[in-house]
Structure 1
Amino acid sequence: MRGTDKRSGELFSYVDLEQRVRADHPLRAIRGVVSEALEALSGEFSALYSGMGRPSIAPEMLLRAMLLQAFYSVRSERQLMERLEFDLLFRWFVGLGVDELVWDHSTFSKNRDRLLAGEIAAKFLTTILELPRVRRLLSSDHFSVDGTLIEAWASMKSFRSRDDEGPGNGGGGRNAPADFRGEKRSNDTHASSTDPDAMLYKKGPGMEAKLCFIGHGLMENRSGLLVDARLTRVSGHAERLAALEMIEPFAERPRAITLGADRGYDAAEFVEELRTLNVRPHIAQNISRRRSAIDRRTTRHASYAASIRARKRIEEAFGWIKSIAGFRKTKLRGLAKVDWAFTFAAAAYNLIRLPKLLGEPS
C-alpha cells in the first residue's frame, strides 16, 4: 500500500523545520520544482502500489532522499540514513518531521525494483522538462550528444571464460586468485560472473581495458540541460545508435534541427542517417586518418561553429554525474538498474542547475 507524502510531528515539537532552512537556500528552489514534478507523477506512483496492506514509505520521499544522495555525494544508502538522523536540512527536503523515525536502508533496495518497473527515472526527467517554467528555457532546434564510460561494479577477476565451471570465488566474498598473463580475453569468450551485463572495453589504443557500460546524454544547447539519457552495453557503434534513438523524437517536425557531436561520431553512415531524419550533422571533423563525412556544405555555416563550441558543455554534465553524483563507478549491478540510476542522476544534474536558470535565489 502506498504511503502518504505528508510531514507529521509539528504539533509535538518546538522545532519548525521551515524556519530552520534559510529563505535563499538553493534547495528551496529545487524542492519546489521537484514537488511539482512528483505531484504530476502521482498517478504513476499509485499504479505501482496495491490498495491493501500497511502504508509503505512514500515514493516521493524515497526519490527526494536519492536526490540528496546525488547532490551531496553521499556514498551509500546506509550513510544517507545516518545523515537523515541528525541533519534538519535533509529532513526538511525529504519531508520527514523532526520526531519521525528514519526508515531502514534496505527500503531502497526493496522499492528500487518497483520504481524500475514503472520507468520512474525517465518519467521524472521528462516531467521536470515539461514544467512550463522549465520548458521555456529549452531549445527545440539545437542539440548536442555524447557518451561516457561508466565503470561496472565488477572486478577484472570476475571476467572468466564462459566454459569455466569452476568456483567463482575464493571464500569470504572474494574472487578466486587468478593469473591472466598471456591469456587472451574477449567479450566473445569471457563474461563477468559478478555482472554479466558489463563488458570489457577500452577508450583508446594503449589504454586500460575495464568492465564498463556506456552512458549517453542528449543536451539542448540553449541552457545546457539534458533532455534524454540512457545507458547501454559497450560496442563500437553504441554511441551512434543511441544518438539516433535519442534525437529521432525531436526530429519529427517540418523544420530541420542541428546535432553537435565530437569526432567519434564522424562516420558516413551516421551522417547520412541524420540527414534522412532532417537533422543537420554539426559533428567535429575527424581528419586524422581518413576523409571526414562532414564537408563544406555543413562547415561553411556560422551555426556549425556555434554548435561545435556549445557541444563541449555536455562534458560538464558528465563530469558532475561522475564526480559529484558518484557515477565514475556504479554501485549497482545489471544493465536495467544502472540505466535507471544513470537517468536519475541526469535529472539531478538538471535540478542542480535550475535555480540560476530560473532566476530564483541560489
Structure 2
Amino acid sequence: MMGQQGGGQDSLFYAFNLDDHVPRDHPLRGIDHFFDAGDLRQHLAPFYSHTGRPSIDPELIVRMLLVGYCFGIRSERRLCEEVHLNLAYRWFCHLGLDDAVPNHSTFSKNRHGRFRDSDTLRHVFESVLRRCMSEGLVGGEGFAVDASVVKADANRARGAAGIEGVDWSALDRPSRAVREYLKALDESAVANDSTSPETEPETPPKKISLTDPAARYTAAPGGPACYAYSTNYLIDLQAGIIVDVEATPAHRSQEVESTKTMIDRVEERFHLRPERLVGDTAYGTGKMLGWMVEEKGIEPHVPVWQRAAHADNVFPNSDFDWIEQANEYRCPGGHALRSNWRAFKNARTHVTKEDTVIYRSSQHDCAECSMKNQCCPDTPRRKITRSVHEAARDHARAIATTPQYKRSRRERKKVEMLFAHLKRILRLDRLRLRGLSGAHDEFLLAATAQNLRRMAKRLMWGSKKAEVATA
C-alpha cells in the first residue's frame, strides 16, 4: 500500500534534542571535546564596557569562525547561512533551534576591533596548543619549519612601480590595509634611526599593490606573478602539531627571520626548545646556522646553502685545507691564502657586510704555480669567501651524513602535508582579509582548526576505530 505524508507542519510543540540529531562520528564532536574556551571571556574582559547592552557572546563568534575554517567556508555571509541551517553547526555553536545567528558584519567588527587589540586569536591558538601538549601530542624533541605562499586579496593590475611611485597623501580615505602599512613604515623609520648606522635598510619592493601594499609581488608559487603573503609553520614532528605560526610578506629573508621569532616565542611561553630543527635549503644560510648552533644549541638538520660551484676544470673550495691555528687556507700546491698579507697599525676584522671574510692567495705564488690553469685561470690569484659562521656550517655538513638526518628529511614531509591540507581541504589558497594583520588572523585561525582536527582524529576517531577493530 502506498504511503502518504501527513498533513503539514502545524504542530505547536516538538520534543526535539539537537544532540540526538548529530551523528556520533561527526568531526565536530571530536573538535568540541577538545576545544575549551573557558578563559576567553576573562581574557577579553578588559576590552568590554561594564555598562550598556550585552554584546554577542565572544565564544559564539570564535566557535562560528572555527566551523568556517574547519570546513572551508570562506564567506562569512555563507557561514551565517550554514550555521542557521545545519544542525551540527548549531550544536557546536551552542545554539538552540530558536536562537538567532549573528549577522555577518559582527565578525568584521570583532576581528578588526576587540579581537585584534587583545590578540584573541593568538590566545585561542595557544589554548588549543596547550591541550595538545596535555594530551601528549607534542614531544618537543624535533621541530620542522617551512613557509607556503598564499595569494593576497589584491588585483595584480592595481599596482605601482616601487614605493617611491606612490603618493599616499593623495588618498582621501585610505583603506585599513593602507593605514596599517603606512603606520608600519613610520615605525620602521623610527627604529632605523635609533639603530646602528651599519644596519642595512630593507630592500624596497619593485612593485607595490595599491590595495594591499604590505603584500609582496612574487612568482614563487609558479604561474603568473601575484601579490601574496607567506604562512610560516613551526611544527612538532611527533604528531605534526603546529606549535607556532607567523604571517610575513612573501619574501625569503623575512620567512627565514620569522623562524627566530617563532622559536623564541615557543620557548618563552611553553618552555619548549627542540634538540633538532628540520628545514630546507632556505634555512641553511651561514647566519641562520650560526644562530641555531651558537646561540640556541639546536642541531641543524638543514642542507647547507652553497654558492654555485666553479667550472669542472677548476679546483673547488673543498680542495683547499683550512688551517685553524694560522687562520689561513692552503691550496693544493701548498701555498697560503690569507685575509691580510701585511700588519695593520689598527687591528681589522676583515668581516664584510655579508658576515664573510675573504682569503686571497699571493699573486706572486699564483704566477709561478704550475696548477694555475686549474685554480684561477681567469684571475691573477685565487680567493675564497669564508663565512664567520663556517664552524656551524661544518657542523651542519657533518649532521647531513648521519642516519638521523635521513629520518629528519622524511619527517619534514609532515609540514608539506599541512600546507596541502590548508589549501585543498580548508580552501585557504587566497586570503579574504587584507593587510599583514588580516593575514595574521587568517593563518592563526587556520592553524587552530588544523590542530583541533588533528587532535580529534588521533585521540577520538582513531581510538574508536581501534575499538571496532578489536571488538
TM-score, normalized by the shorter chain, greater than 0.5: yes
Q: Does 1:195 align with 2:212?
A: yes
Tell me the CA shift for residue 132 of structure 1.
6.9
Select 2:288's aligned residue among 252, 270, 274: 270
Distance 1:347 1:332 in 2: 17
* Most deviating of 233-242 and 220-229: 233-242
1:158 is aligned to 158
Tell me the CA shift for residue 326 of structure 1.
2.7
1:47 is aligned to 46
Select 1:309's aligned residue among 391, 410, 419: 410
Distance 2:131 2:274 in 1: 25
Q: How big is the alpha-carbon RMSD for the aligned residues of Structure 1 and Structure 2?
A: 2.8
Distance 2:419 2:44 in 1: 29
Tell me the CA shift for residue 50 of structure 1.
1.5
Contact in 2 for aligned 1:187/1:200 (Cα 8 Å): no
Q: Deviations over 1:148-196 (max 9, x none)?
A: 111110001111245356999xxxxxxxxxxxxxxxxx95454211111
Distance 2:129 2:85 in 1: 33
Distance 2:231 2:289 in 1: 21
Distance 1:131 1:251 in 2: 17
Distance 2:433 2:132 in 1: 34
Distance 2:251 2:58 in 1: 35
Q: Which letter does structure 2 place at the counterpart of 1:146?
A: D
Q: Deviations over 1:115-156 (max 9, x none)?
A: 111111221111112127645111111100000111110001
Tell me the CA shift for residue 98 of structure 1.
0.4
Q: Does 1:215 align with 2:316?
A: no
Q: Which letter does structure 2 place at the counterpart of 1:201?
A: T
Tell me the CA shift for residue 347 of structure 1.
0.7
Q: Does 1:115 align with 2:90?
A: no
Distance 2:304 2:24 in 1: 48
Tell me the CA shift for residue 235 of structure 1.
2.4
Change (3 A) 1:251 1:52: closer
Distance 1:14 1:82 in 2: 24
How many residue pairs align between the two structures?
Answer: 332
Q: Does 1:91 align with 2:84?
A: no
Q: How does 1:97-108 map to 2 (within 5 A)?
A: 97-108=96-107
Contact in 2 for aligned 1:251/1:279 (Cα 8 Å): no
Q: Does 1:346 align with 2:345?
A: no
Q: Does 1:297 align with 2:366?
A: no
Tell me the CA shift for residue 301 of structure 1.
3.0
Q: Does 1:61 align with 2:60?
A: yes
* 1:237 partner SS: helix
* 1:121 partner SS: helix
* 2:239 partner SS: coil
Contact in 1 for aligned 2:303/2:397 (Cα 8 Å): no
* 2:231 partner SS: strand
* Most deviating of 45-54 and 86-95: 45-54
Change (3 A) 1:73 1:132: closer
Change (3 A) 1:212 1:192: same
Contact in 1 for aligned 2:132/2:138 (Cα 8 Å): no
Distance 1:76 1:226 in 2: 25
* 2:157 partner SS: helix
* 1:148 partner SS: strand
Q: Does 1:33 align with 2:34?
A: yes
Q: Which letter does structure 2 place at the counterpart of 1:101?
A: A
Q: Which letter does structure 2 place at the counterpart of 1:229?
A: V
- Unaligned 5+ segments in structure 1 are 1-11, 169-185
Distance 1:31 1:55 in 2: 25
Tell me the CA shift for residue 285 of structure 1.
4.8
Tell me the CA shift for residue 54 of structure 1.
1.3
Change (3 A) 1:119 1:135: farther
Distance 2:51 2:424 in 1: 41
Tell me the CA shift for residue 286 of structure 1.
5.1
Q: Which has the larger radius of gyration?
A: 2
Q: Deviations over 1:299-327 (max 9, x none)?
A: 23332222111111101111222222232
* 1:289 partner SS: coil
Distance 1:265 1:344 in 2: 26
Tell me the CA shift for residue 256 of structure 1.
6.5
Distance 2:72 2:234 in 1: 23
- Unaligned 5+ segments in structure 2 are 1-12, 172-202, 310-316, 318-389, 466-471
Tell me the CA shift for residue 207 of structure 1.
5.3
Q: Which letter does structure 1 place at the counterpart of 2:22?
A: V
Change (3 A) 1:108 1:13: farther
* Most deviating of 284-293 and 190-199: 284-293
Select 2:248's aligned residue among 232, 252, 269: 232
Change (3 A) 1:238 1:164: closer
* 1:229 partner SS: strand
Q: Deviations over 1:180-239 (max 9, x none)?
A: xxxxxx9545421111111212228x8532111111000000000100001012323112
Tell me the CA shift for residue 248 of structure 1.
2.8
Distance 1:335 1:130 in 2: 26
* 2:103 partner SS: coil
Contact in 2 for aligned 1:129/1:135 (Cα 8 Å): no
2:23 is aligned to 22
Distance 1:231 1:13 in 2: 49
Tell me the CA shift for residue 333 of structure 1.
0.6
Contact in 2 for aligned 1:218/1:229 (Cα 8 Å): yes
Contact in 1 for aligned 2:69/2:445 (Cα 8 Å): no
